[in-house]
Amino acid sequence: MYYGGYPMDIRGIVSYARERKIRVLEDAAHAVGTLDDTGEWPGKYSDGAAFSFYATKNITSGEGGMFLTNDKDLEERVRILSLHGMDRDAWKRYELGNRYAYDVVALGYKYNMPDLTAALVMSQLAKLSTLQARRDRLARIYCDAFEGSNGIVPATQWPLRPARHSWCVFAIIVDDSCGVTRDSVITSLLGNGIGTSVHFPPTHLLASMRHLHTRPLPVTEWAAQRLVSLPLYPDMSDEDAHYVADSVCSAARRSTSRS
């Protein structure tokens, strides 16, 4: 998974997996705009990569996503499963000279993206470079503001070119060893009119998954108690980003001074 959009060593992972005959699928929900150390999108070296176009993502259609793969068999399997298991979609059935007949060859799902929302995505993809440059600018403001800050650490780092971070999520770690807690920072920001989020609550502690929890996961739980995601979107102004960063640092200073 590309947490927040940070590029991973996917070629190393794929090399390790290939030697053991393991297939690799990438969770690229945060990675629209992410490039690896060769300047390639997720899905170039693995068996496939799934991207999200949800409302909070870098490119959005409100819902839906896309799947990239170089494997023709896997591509066909995904197409079939995404449309009720049907072997021919409406375009193929109604093209001139084609027959209406189709078969349902698998127990599939309703995962296909409507054409209207796909058109919206295509129009946004043409603007991706501009949108990405704006995210880069805002992320740089945050990184510079938190450099040397007591108790506030970005949960990521700036990758070396040609790798690129998508900055779908800009998360910080609030270090409570300095006397500041994540929740106190969230409360302080809310008082300044700044909304935040948490990415993510630990899966193994969610109600539907607790029965699968068989061993301690202390690192996961440590991180989940200290992460908070800050606002970052292309229409955000430099002034707003500075305001958020100053508010975070101020909340940390107040908590530290009280301790």
Extents of the domains making up the chain: 3-81+112-125, 128-258
Pairing mode of beta strands 48-52, 25-28: parallel
pLDDT computed for residue 95 by the predictor: 62
Is pLDDT of 129 > 80? Answer: yes
Q: Determine the Cα–Cα distance for residues 211 and 206; give it in Å rounded to an integer.
A: 9
Closest among 158, 162, 138 to 232, alpha carbons compared: 138
pLDDT computed for residue 180 by the predictor: 87
Mean pLDDT of 228-241: 98
The pLDDT > 90 percentage for the chain reads 76
| Least confident span in 108-112, 121-125, 141-145, 231-235 | 108-112
Mean predicted lDDT score pLDDT of the chain:
91
Q: Distance of CA 164 to CAs 31, 127, 141, 201, Å?
A: 10, 16, 16, 26
Q: How confident is the model at residue 28 (pLDDT cuts 50, 70, 90)?
A: very high
Contacts 24+ apart (CB under 8 A), 66-69: 66/113, 66/121, 67/43, 68/28, 68/41, 68/42, 68/43, 69/43
pLDDT computed for residue 74 by the predictor: 95
Mean pLDDT of 93-115: 78
Q: Which fold has domain 128-258?
A: Aspartate Aminotransferase, domain 1 (3.90.1150)
pLDDT computed for residue 177 by the predictor: 75
pLDDT computed for residue 158 by the predictor: 94
pLDDT computed for residue 225 by the predictor: 93
Question: pTM of the full predicted structure?
Answer: 0.89
Is pLDDT of 99 > 70? Answer: no
* 3-81+112-125 matches 128-258 in fold: no
* SS3 call for 126: coil
Options 3.40.640.10, 3.40.50.970, 3.30.1490.20, 3.40.50.300; CATH for 3-81+112-125 is 3.40.640.10
Q: Which amino acids are annotated catalytic?
A: 57
Mean pLDDT of 170-198: 93
